[in-house]
């Protein structure tokens, strides 16, 4: 998606939490790290677990499936086999709502 699309109320993603939302057919993980929002593809490139079921720590998410550690800043996953990067999304907050678009 090239234009910003309305995703969710920002109050639904408080600091230290994350959630998966679907926008225009894309599943996007939105994570709130100390008030800064990050967006990456939500479906693990390993075996398609939903990353929102994993663990958020600083700017990484550890997949609940088999432990791939995904970097929210780069979209890269660290695992014992090469995995494609997760797509990155830009997020902006306007009047209490989060808007997303692909980078
Ligand atoms: S599904 Fe994410 S590590 Fe296997």
Parse the chain into domains and list their residue ranges.
5-102
**58-101 confidence digits (pLDDT tens):** 999 999 999 999 999 999 999 999 999 999 999 999 999 999 99
According to CATH, the superfamily of the domain at 5-102 is Rieske [2Fe-2S] iron-sulphur domain (2.102.10.10)
Query: What is the bridge-based pairing of β-strands 18-23 and 5-9?
Result: unpaired
Taking every pair of Cα atoms in the chain, the longest distance, rounded to a whole number of angstroms, is: 42
Total-model pTM: 0.96
**7-22 confidence digits (pLDDT tens):** 999 999 999 999 999 9
Q: And the tokens for 90?
A: 């830009």
Ligand 1: nearest atom to the Cα of 63: 2
Residue pair 61/51 in contact by the 8 Å Cβ criterion: yes
Which of 20, 41, 49, 86 to mutate for ligand 1's pocket (most ligand atoms within 8 Å of CB)? 49
Ligand 1 in reach of 97 Cβ (< 6 A): no
Report the distance separating Cα 75 and Cα 9, nearest Å: 24
């Amino acid at each position: 998606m090239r234009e910003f699309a309305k995703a969710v109320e920002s109050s639904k993603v408080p600091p230290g939490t994350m959630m998966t939302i679907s926008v225009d057919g894309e599943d996007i993980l939105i994570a709130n790290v100390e008030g800064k929002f990050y967006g990456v593809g939500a479906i693990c490139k390993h075996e398609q677990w939903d990353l929102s079921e994993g663990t958020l720590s600083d700017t990484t998410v550890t997949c609940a499936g088999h432990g791939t550690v995904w970097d929210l800043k780069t979209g890269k996953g660290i695992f014992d086999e090469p995995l494609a990067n997760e797509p990155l999304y830009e997020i902006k907050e306007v009047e209490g709502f989060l808007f997303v678009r692909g980078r």
